[in-house]
C-alpha cells in the first residue's frame, strides 16, 4: 500500500522547499495527537505538492492551518481538488485513521480507511488522467454500499452511535455498518430526517434481503404515518392533498415535509403537535403576505 511519501518525485508532482519547523509546529497545535510521521516526512522535503495531472494539491502547513479555521474539528486537511472540496485525515477516535471527503456543498463522508488506501486511489486517478474533483464526486472509495465492513469499522460505528450525533457521527456510523448490523440500521431509521436521508440512501443501494425487508417495513410505516397525519389534519379542518413526492403533503397553503415529523411519531401527542406546528406555519405564511 502506498504512502504519502510515494508522491515525492513521481511524474506530475511538483515539489517546493521544505516546511519551516515553526510552520509544522503551528499545525501540530491544532490536534490532540501527534501528526503522522508519513506527512512529516513529506513536509520535511517539500511544504506541499502540486499534483497538476489531477488538478489537485497536497496541502502545505500554512494551507492546513487556513483550511482548519473553517473546517470541522479533529480533521487534518490533506488534499485539495482546486474546486473547494478536499480530503481530510481524521485525527481522533473513533473516526481515525480514516480519510474523509469534505465537499463544499454537502456534508462530509468517510471515503478511505486510511492514508495508504487514499494515496493508492490518487495514484490510480493520476494514471487515468481524470481530475480529482470528478473522481471524488463519483467514487465510494473503501465504503461502497455492499462492501463488508471490518470489525474495526463496526466497532467505530457503535462508538459513534453512543454520541449525541450532532456532528454527523450517526451519518458516519451509517457508512461503517454492513448487512449484519440490522439492529443498528433499525435504530438509525428512527432518527431525524438529516440522518435518515443517508440511512435510506445507503439501504436502498444494498442487495441484502434482510436489509431490503427492513427498508420495506420502514416504507410501510412511513406510508401509514402519512395517512394518519392526513386524517388528523382533516379532522382539524385543514385541506390535505397528495403531491408528486411521497415525502410531502400539501396542507392548507403550505407543503409539509413528512420526514420532519416522522421520527417523532411514537412520542405522546405526536400527531396533535405535528398538526399544531403545521397550523403555525400556515398562519406565519398568511401574516407574511
Q: What pLDDT shows up at residue 9?
A: 85
pLDDT of 199 higher than 90: yes
- 79 and 172: one domain? no
User: Is 84 among the domain residues?
Assistant: yes
Rounded-to-integer distance, Cα 187 and Cα 181, Å: 10
Q: Which of 109, 138, 167 is the last residue of a domain?
A: 138
User: Is 241 among the domain residues?
Assistant: yes
- Compute the mean pLDDT over every residue in the chain, rounded to the nearest whole number: 96
CATH number at residue 96: 3.40.1580.10
Residue 263: closest CA among 242, 247, 252: 247
- 133 and 156: one domain? no
pLDDT digits (tens, 9 = 90+) for 250-284: 999 999 999 999 999 999 999 999 999 999 999 99
pLDDT digits (tens, 9 = 90+) for 167-176: 999 999 999 9
* Average of per-residue pLDDT across 23-40: 97
Total count of domains within the chain: 3
Rounded-to-integer distance, Cα 78 and Cα 97, Å: 13
- 60 and 92: one domain? yes
Rounded-to-integer distance, Cα 190 and Cα 262, Å: 8
User: Is 220 among the domain residues?
Assistant: no
Give Cβ neighbours of residue 29 (< 8 Å, ≥ 6 apart): none
pLDDT of 46 higher than 90: yes
User: Is 218 among the domain residues?
Assistant: no
SS3 121: helix
- 134 and 163: one domain? no
Rounded-to-integer distance, Cα 114 and Cα 135, Å: 17
Q: Which of 138, 167, 194 is the last residue of a domain?
A: 138
* Average of per-residue pLDDT across 120-141: 94
Q: What pLDDT shows up at residue 3?
A: 95
Burial label for 248, CB within 10 Å (0-12, 13-18, 19+), is: middle
Rounded-to-integer distance, Cα 99 and Cα 88, Å: 5
pLDDT of 71 higher than 90: no
Dihedral angle of Cα 33, 35, 36, 37, to the nearest 10 degrees: -120
- 120 and 158: one domain? no
User: Is 256 among the domain residues?
Assistant: yes
Rounded-to-integer distance, Cα 175 and Cα 142, Å: 10
- 126 and 231: one domain? no
State the pLDDT confidence band at 129, using cuts at 50, 70 and 90.
Answer: confident
- 185 and 283: one domain? no
- 201 and 232: one domain? no
Q: What pLDDT shows up at residue 1?
A: 79
Beta bridge partners of 13: 51
Q: What pLDDT shows up at residue 288?
A: 86
State the pLDDT confidence band at 123, using cuts at 50, 70 and 90.
Answer: very high
User: Is 70 among the domain residues?
Assistant: yes
User: Is 214 among the domain residues?
Assistant: no
- 103 and 193: one domain? no
- 116 and 55: one domain? yes
SS3 51: strand
Domain that residue 283 falls in:
225-288
Amino acid at each position: 500500500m502506498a504512502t504519502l511519501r510515494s508522491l515525492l518525485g513521481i511524474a506530475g508532482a511538483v515539489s517546493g522547499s521544505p516546511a519551516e519547523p515553526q510552520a509544522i509546529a503551528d499545525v501540530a497545535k491544532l490536534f490532540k495527537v501527534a501528526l503522522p510521521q508519513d506527512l512529516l516526512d513529506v513536509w520535511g522535503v517539500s511544504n506541499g505538492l502540486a499534483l497538476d495531472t489531477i488538478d489537485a494539491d497536497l496541502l502545505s502547513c500554512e494551507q492546513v492551518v487556513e483550511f482548519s479555521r473553517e473546517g470541522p474539528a479533529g480533521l487534518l486537511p490533506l488534499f485539495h481538488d482546486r474546486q473547494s472540496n478536499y480530503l481530510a485525515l481524521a485525527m481522533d477516535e473513533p473516526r481515525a485513521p480514516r480519510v474523509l471527503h469534505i465537499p463544499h456543498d454537502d456534508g462530509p463522508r468517510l471515503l478511505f480507511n486510511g492514508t495508504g488506501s487514499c494515496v493508492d486511489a490518487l495514484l490510480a486517478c493520476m494514471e487515468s488522467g481524470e481530475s480529482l474533483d470528478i473522481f471524488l464526486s463519483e467514487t465510494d472509495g473503501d465504503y461502497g454500499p455492499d462492501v463488508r465492513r471490518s470489525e474495526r469499522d463496526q466497532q467505530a460505528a457503535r462508538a459513534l452511535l453512543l454520541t449525541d450525533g450532532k456532528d454527523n457521527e450517526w451519518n458516519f456510523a451509517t457508512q461503517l455498518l454492513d448487512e449484519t448490523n440490522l439492529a443498528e440500521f433499525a435504530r438509525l431509521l428512527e432518527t431525524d430526517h438529516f440522518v435518515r436521508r443517508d440511512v435510506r440512501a445507503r439501504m436502498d443501494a444494498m442487495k441484502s434481503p434482510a436489509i431490503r425487508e427492513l427498508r420495506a417495513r420502514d416504507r410501510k410505516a412511513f406510508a401509514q404515518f402519512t395517512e394518519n397525519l392526513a386524517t388528523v389534519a382533516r379532522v382539524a379542518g385543514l385541506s390535505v392533498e397528495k403531491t408528486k413526492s411521497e415525502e410531502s403533503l400539501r396542507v392548507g397553503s403550505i407543503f409539509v415535509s413528512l420526514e420532519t415529523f416522522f421520527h417523532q411519531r411514537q412520542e405522546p401527542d405526536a400527531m396533535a403537535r405535528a398538526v399544531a406546528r403545521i397550523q403555525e406555519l400556515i398562519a406565519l405564511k398568511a401574516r407574511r403576505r
